[in-house]
Amino acid sequence: MDAETDAFIRYLATERGLSDAYQLSVRQSLDALAAWISARSLSLADLGTDELSAFLTTRKEQGLAASSLRITVVHLKIFFRWLTGRGTLPMDPAEPLIAPRPEQQLPETLNRATVARLLESIDPTRPLGKRDLAILELFYASGLRLSELCRLRLEEYDEEEAFLRVTGKGNKTRIVPVGGKAREAIDHYLRSERRELVSKRTGSHLFLSKRGGALSPERVREIVKERAAAAGIDLRTYPHLLRHSFATHLLEGGADLRVIQELLGHADISTTQIYTHVDGARLKSIHRRFHPRG
C-alpha cells in the first residue's frame, strides 16, 4: 500500500494543490490503515466496506475522537475514490461509509467580570505592557483567531475608521471593527512601544517581539497565559478562549447570529450556532438556580 499512498499524496500536492498540513493528515490516516492491513495479512484488493468499518472500529477503540474519525472517513473516501478512478480497484469500498456524528462540545468561555479583571490587570506603564494589553484587548474586541492576529500588518489597520482587514481560513478576507477600548490600546502601543521595538529586521507586522520580529503563535499563547496567571485567573486561558468569549458575549447582548458569523469569519452558519447552545446552557443554569421548581 506504500506505493499507492505515496502516489496519492503526490496527486494531492501537485494536482489538487493542497497544503503540506493536509497532506500530512491524509498520510497519517493511510499509514494507520496500512498498519491495520499488515497486521491482518491483507492487501488493498481484500478490502471491502466491512473491513474498512472494522478498521474504523479499531481506531475508535484506540481512543480516536469522533471528530478525528470523521476526518479519517473523509480521507478514506477520497483515497479509494481515487484508486477506483485509476482502475486500481474495481469498486469503491469506502463509498457506503458513514462518518460518525460530531460530538457536541460547548466552547469554554470567560464571564464578563473575569475578562475585565484580565484586561485591567495589565499595567501599560510596565515593559511590553502596552503591547500585551493591545493584543488581549484585540482578541476580545474583534474575535480574531491566533493565526490572524499574528499575521496582522500595519497597512491592514485603518486607524481612522477603526477597522481591520483580516485574512482568515482559505485566504478569505473580512472587515472587522475594532472596539473603543481595543482601538485606544492599539493606538497607545503604536505611538510609543512599537517604535521602541523596531529593529533592522522589522517588517510591517502590527505586533512585534522584543527583538523586532513578528510574534510567533507560541509566544502569543505564552503572553495570554502569563497575563492570566498574573491576574490571578485559575482557569486555563488561551487566545481562542477570548474568541469564544467575544462571540458568546455578543450573543448574550442580543447580536444577530449572522452578524457574529461574519465577524468570526465562519463559512457556515452551523459553526456559529454552537454559541446558541452556550447561551442556552447559561439560561438553563439561571433557571435552575432561581426558579422555585427549577
Which residues are tagged catalytic? 145, 169, 240, 243, 266, 275
What would the grid cell of residue 125 be?
A: 506603564
CB 99 within 8 A of CB 73: yes
Nearest in space to 57 (alpha carbons), one of 41, 40, 74, 36 = 36
Task: Specify whether the backbone of 98 is left (phi greater than 0), alpha (psi in -120 to 50) or beta.
Answer: beta
CB 264 within 8 A of CB 243: yes
Q: Classify burial at 167, counting beta carbons within 10 Å of its beta carbon; exposed 0-12, middle 13-18, buried 19 or more.
A: middle
Element (H, E) at 249: helix 239-252
DSSP 220-248: HHHHHHHHHHHTT--S---HHHHHHHHHH
Nearest in space to 127 (alpha carbons), one of 189, 182, 185 = 189
Give, rounded to a whole angstrom, the gap between the first and last alpha carbons of the chain.
58
Task: Specify whether the backbone of 93 is left (phi greater than 0), alpha (psi in -120 to 50) or beta.
Answer: alpha
